Amino acid sequence: MIDRIFKKHIEDKKILDGLLFYAIMKSEHNLKKIDQSNVGGRQSQLSNNDPEYLQFYNVLKITFDTTHSNNNNDIQLKSAYFNVNSKYSYHHLNSYEGGFYSGILWLKHGPKRGVLKFLEESKKNIILNKKNKFIEINPEVGDIIFFPSELSHLIEINLDDIPQIFMKFNFIMKNE
């Protein structure tokens, strides 16, 4: 399953800046904790009523389709979240059961940000210990990392004073 992880970079600074602004605004006005995959950080859900939703969806869909050779429009965005991880915050080990592909779009981070890690052997109810093997990815701002939804992943502790801001999303098949 690790071999189905792929990366694409968004060059359009206007899109990235718009999403970053929206992520900061949304996280500051929505302090309630949902899904709580972020520990110490803030997470707010992106709704299809939000003005940036359609732009975000179109960028993701086109990027996924061209990178994954998926041109039959059989996927839809099920959920999307803005995540703001301040210093010492992290994104715990999780997966999205029942999804098709998930992804993370990196909007802002400092040099001591948390690293994205994928557990080589994804199983339910896994106990983390030093024997677990991970694949590490150090994404840059503008990178989207796509991966199978059932693949367990985490983002390590942000050790930087600069907040780590990213959008996490999940695709499902339309017929499901």
DSSP letters along 13-63, please? HHHHHHHHHHHHHHHHH--S--S--EESSEEEEPPTTSTTHHHHHHHHHHH
Phi-psi region at 29: left, alpha or beta (left = phi > 0; alpha = psi -120 to 50): alpha
SS3 91: strand
pLDDT at 88: 94
pLDDT at 104: 93
pLDDT at 157: 94
pLDDT 10s digits, 55-87: 777 777 777 777 666 555 677 888 888 888 889
pLDDT at 117: 93
- What's the average pLDDT block by block, 10 residues per block, for the chain (176 residues)? 76 81 70 58 69 71 71 73 88 85 92 92 61 86 91 93 91 76
Quickly tell me which residue has 């990235």 as its tokens: 16
pLDDT at 124: 58
Cα–Cα nearest to 90, from 148, 42, 40: 40
pTM of the predicted model as reported, rounded to 2 decimal places:
0.83
Domains and CATH numbers, the chain: 2-173 (2.60.120.620)
pLDDT at 2: 62
Here the tokens at position 73 are 């429009």
pLDDT at 141: 94
pLDDT at 112: 95
pLDDT at 123: 60
Quickly tell me which residue has 């499901």 as its tokens: 176
